[in-house]
Structure 1
């Protein structure tokens, strides 16, 4: 069983030094509205977090009880690549039947999470690193929270940046890339942070 200190190290790594959006560049292919509207970024982030936690649970169970037990680790990527879209489809159907109002509000975000590489990447990293179940769930939860904070911060900064004051050649995507690069550089100081 993982100690509290190990779990705290996994949580800090997922939040800061291995942030899926800013450091690992996973999850960038989400809805473009998430990079402009902070509320859309938060909705996309909590959908991503929910899928990452469910995906981590299912990936750990499949890896531990099926792939590891029968020596089928070479099918891991295929299984995980099918698992995440299957989870999203099941979650969308469940919400549509049980909570239609919530389904109506977040269906667009859930669609985009089905192909989000942060959800697949977290499940793959959990399997490759052989995390225990509590560590896997904490890694996915904190990774999702870190991605949500990064998306919401980026969207908030986009609303605050005065594009009229920057040179014309930097307007649009160039200034967005510079902003993302500066945000990622802020997290570089946490790289290699371990609790021993």
Structure 2
């Protein structure tokens, strides 16, 4: 791995924690990277396996998401690595399907903005659902339904225009903080 000063740090295992758009220039050419909107993410399967059999990837280097999503992906990847050591084929945990009757048209609305002090910000958990103002939801919305409003107390909020929102879920899938939730009509 190469650090910010350009110095090579020899290692057999590297775990990188970023929480933002990843910088992937250090990866060998054997790892396939997908470029979307100027940012790059590592292409991998459900077990975190990349195009290089020696490299696995989870979390924000694969796609934006919650820390809890990365933790779950880490468990899957660890299980896949263990299965490989045992000579077994890895089986995904699977997910329960949502009954068709439970699916309804929905709009997405954000939770309130985070605390106003550094102390309040530091006390937030990784997946408490408070916005860190990254603008990803606003940027990815295909109908420009999401906008950022400045409030009188110098805080902000993101709002979704119900006349423009098509309930595609891009905001929910992209938000690294998990602030967008379904609201039945």
> TM-score range, shorter-chain basis?
under 0.3
- TM-score normalised by length of structure 1: 0.26
Structure with greater proportional helix content: 1
Higher relative contact order, structure no. (Cα contacts within 8 Å, ≥ 6 residues apart): 1
